[in-house]
Amino acid sequence: MTQDADKAAIILTDDHRVACSGEGGALGHPRVFLEMGLDGEVVCGYCDRHYVLKGGPADKSAR
Ligand SMILES: [Zn+2]
């Protein structure tokens, strides 16, 4: 597994509601709560991280 900081990461999560604070350092930002809609995904407006609900409509790896 490699970590590519250049691209927006997709993060699978079990919860409709996620807290994002970036990852510290240059990418860090104030902690915010992100609420997923029915899509089962949300993108953080600060760091562009893409949160996907595990097993949700937007989870391409669920099948
Ligand atoms: Zn963020």
pLDDT digits (tens, 9 = 90+) for 18-52: 999 987 667 689 999 999 999 999 999 998 999 99
Its domain, for residue 37, covers 1-63
Whose CA is closest to 35, among 57, 55, 13, 6?
Answer: 13
C-alpha of residue 46 to centroid of ligand 1, in Å? 5
C-alpha of residue 54 to centroid of ligand 1, in Å? 18
**Global pTM?**
0.77
Instruction: Quote the number of domains for the chain.
Output: 1
Residues 6+ apart with CB under 8 A from 47: 8, 20, 22, 23, 27, 29
CATH code for position 55: 2.60.260.40
Quote the pLDDT of residue 7.
Answer: 60
Whose CA is closest to 44, among 27, 63, 62?
Answer: 27
The C-alpha atoms of residue 47 and residue 20 are separated, in whole angstroms, by 9
